[in-house]
Amino acid sequence: MASTPPQVVFGSSEAKPDREGTKDSLGNIRETGVFCVNIVEFAARDAMNASSAPHPREIDEFEAAGVVKAPCETIPCCRVASAPAALECRLTRIVRLAGEANWAVFGAVTGVHLRDDCLVDGRFDVTRYQPLARLGYRDYATVREVFSMTRPTLPA
Ligand X SMILES: Cc1cc2nc3c(=O)[nH]c(=O)nc-3n(C[C@H](O)[C@H](O)[C@H](O)COP(=O)(O)O)c2cc1C
By CB under 6 A, name the binding residues for ligand X.
10-13, 16, 23-25, 49, 52, 54, 61, 134
Residue 137 or 147: the one with the smaller Cβ distance to ligand X is: 137
Residues 74-102 as b or e (16 or more Cβ within 10 Å = b): ebebbbbebbbbbbbbbbeeeeeeeeebb
The residue among 104 and 125 lying less far from ligand X, judged by its C-beta, is 104
Pairing of strands 85-96, 102-114: antiparallel
Closest approach, Cβ 152 to ligand X, in A, equals: 33
State the Cα–Cα distance between residues 114 and 85, nearest whole angstrom: 5
Q: How far is the CB of 102 from ligand X (least distance, A)?
A: 9
Considering beta carbons, is residue 28 or 92 the nearer one to ligand X?
A: 28
Least distance in angstroms from the C-beta of 122 to ligand X = 30
Distance CA 94, CA 92 (A): 7
Strands 6-13 and 69-71: unpaired
CB of 32 to ligand X, least distance (A): 13
In this complex, which beta carbon is closest to ligand X, that of residue 101 or of residue 125? 101
